[in-house]
Amino acid sequence: MELLHVADAVAREKLIDRDEVLEAMEQAIQKAGRSKYGLEHDIRAHINRRTGAIELRRYREVVDTVEDEGTQILLADAQRRDKALSVGDFLIEDLPPIDFGRIAAQTAKQVIVQRVRDAERLRQYEEYKDRIGEIVNGLVKRAEYGNVTVDLGRAEAVIRRDELIPREHYKIGDRVRAYIYDVRQEPRGPQIFLSRTRPEFMSKLFAMEVPEIYDGIIEIRAVARDPGSRAKIAVISHDSSIDPVGACVGMRGSRVQAVVGELQGEKIDIIPWSQDTATFVVNALAPAEVTKVVLDDEQNRIEVVVPDEQLSLAIGRRGQNVRLASMLTGWEIDILTEAEESERRQEETRQRSELFMAALDVDDVIAHLLVAEGFATIEDVAFIESEELESIEGFDEDIAAELQNRARVYLEEQAAKAIEAARASGVQDDLIEFEGVEPGMLAALVKEDVKSLEDFAGLAADELIEILGAGMFSEDEANLLIMKARLDKGWITQADFDAAMAPPADEEVVEEEDDDVLTPESVFKTSTNQPAL
């Protein structure tokens, strides 16, 4: 019965199942029995779960031909002891209880300790693997080399140096609160990793301090942190009667101050989230004022113009404000002053005017008129509806027609020069004449040593986009062009091409009448007057 009492005590102390402790004891007794009677024997131990009696038995398999005398016995010999046995059965013999010597007892203890430790580690892993994303409290157990070991009561966790807030130091016995971001099962046991610098830690702290966030009335959409220094958090309310910013700040700032205190004085800007990107970016740059915003969806960049005296405020100390705003919104933000933006606009106007004057052989008055109406390239003039040109004040039908004719002639000359230069660089005709490759692309392709249709067909879509620039093609368009090249080279069949270009089975195909719908015909549709890009 003492064994059962010990098993119960260990199970309670280590918070593991009683049977696991008893199985560890059985394994230890079994190992001691093999040490006494011979390692070659199949000896098994069993502890009666009700009485605690130890049963030690030797198992031998009944066979026709003995290959291992320690674990096998001939059928004739086995039936002399038990006539009911047949080949494949086991002859089970009771062994007398063993008297544990000092060495055997030590070995048994090691086995039991190891098995109990393994069971405890498994229990810890099973308990904490589903708690990723929670905040836990613990006491500092060790602090060495910048890493902090935290005693969580039923397990130990680690806060690495880079997951601690800068200038934050802990001593043994200090209480610490942190966020579980990973739990791994490793040979040395479960490893629980904590963090105090991750944005999720701040989100969870606000959820603990602001009941409206916990209840789902207010939602945290984005968090950006410079740990220990400054942070920005974007919130939105699903109840129009509740102000999300005011709820997070609390009466006299009580709620936000509780979070700031936990984060070692980290300054927190709480801003309203907006579905409109421009509005969201303007909010994110607070407290700086913004006078103008220009979005570039293709490059995922946004240009922000601020008054001259607001520039340092918008950028922040060491670029902190704009960096956090960029992290919060997911956009790359370029900040210009009004003076810089005006100077750049004047320079763009001058360059475009000079381009129109040189290419279209017009005076500066007409060139400035075209720029003022929003024309940026020769292609804009060549391929726009003639009525658009005729609507410009001072232009009539003859002037519009002449401007478009000169623009198209210029583009044809530029295309011819590009083709001539490409041929001189060794570009083969199959690439030059391939439908979809325009003359203006050839120079960029030559730089990357793409000089034949075979070279072109061997590209990946992202490689082609990188060569030609992100604004030239979308990934779908680039992939379509490359697949067409592979079809022309005979690398794939028409069926392969159709299958590759077909939408996924779970994607609903919507028929549209819009001219911009992506089709093979629309992507490859060109003419001899196609502009150089």
CB 206 within 8 A of CB 219: no
Question: In this structure, what DSSP letter does residue 508 have?
Answer: P
Quick one: average pLDDT of 320-325?
90
Q: CA-CA distance, 529 to 524, in Å (whole number)?
A: 14
Asked if 409 and 396 touch (Cβ cutoff 8 Å), the reply is: no
The band of 101, judged by pLDDT with boundaries at 50, 70 and 90, is low
Beta bridge partners of 301: 296, 332
CATH match for 129-195 among 1.10.3720.10, 3.20.20.140, 3.90.1300.10, 2.40.50.140: 2.40.50.140
pTM above 0.75, yes or no: no
In which band, very low, low, confident or very high, does the pLDDT at 511 lie, cut at 50, 70 and 90? Answer: very low
The overall average pLDDT reported for the chain is 81
- pLDDT-derived band at 347 (thresholds 50, 70, 90) equals confident
Burial class for 271, CB neighbours closer than 10 Å (0-12, 13-18, 19+) = buried
Residue with tokens 């700040």: 249
In which residue are the tokens 């990188």 written?
466
Give CA–CA dist 326/310, Å, rounded. Answer: 18
Nearest-angstrom CA–CA distance, 354 and 361: 10
- Residue 12, pLDDT > 90, answer no
DSSP string for 245-303:
HHHHH-GGGHHHHHHHHHTTT-EEEEEE--SSHHHHHHHHTTTS--SEEEEETTTTEEE
Q: CA dihedral in degrees (273, 276, 277, 280; nearest 10)?
A: -30
How many other CB atoms sit within 10 Å of the CB of residue 304? 24
Give domain limits for the chain. 2-124, 129-195, 216-273, 427-524
The token duo for 343 is: 């100077």
pLDDT per position as a tens digit, 110-159: 766 777 777 777 777 877 888 888 899 999 998 888 889 998 887 888 99
pLDDT at position 102 is 60
The residue among 385, 382, 389, 384 whose CA lies nearest residue 406 is 382
Percent of the chain whose predicted confidence (pLDDT) is above 70 = 90
Domain 2-124 belongs in CATH node 3.30.1480.10: yes
**DSSP per-residue codes, 363-425:** -HHHHHHHHHTT--SHHHHHHS-HHHHHTSTT--HHHHHHHHHHHHHHHHHHHHHHHHHHHHT
**What number does CATH give the domain 216-273?**
3.30.300.20
Nearest to 149 by CA among 189, 208, 200, 100: 189
d(Cα 8, Cα 16) in Å, to the nearest integer? 10
Output DSSP code: residue 165: P
Burial class (CB in 10 A: 0-12, 13-18, 19+), 431: buried
Rounded CA separation 253/502 (Å): 56
Q: Is 122 helix (H, G, I), strand (E, B) or coil?
A: helix
Q: What is the pLDDT of residue 449?
A: 87
End-to-end CA separation in angstroms for the chain:
90
Q: What is the pLDDT of residue 196?
A: 92
Q: What is the C-alpha to C-alpha distance for residues 394 and 399, in angstroms, rounded to an integer?
A: 9
Instruction: Write the pLDDT tens digit of every residue in 39-60.
Output: 788 888 888 888 877 888 888 8
Rg over alpha carbons for the chain, rounded to the nearest Å, is: 39
C-alpha 28/C-alpha 159 separation (Å) is 37
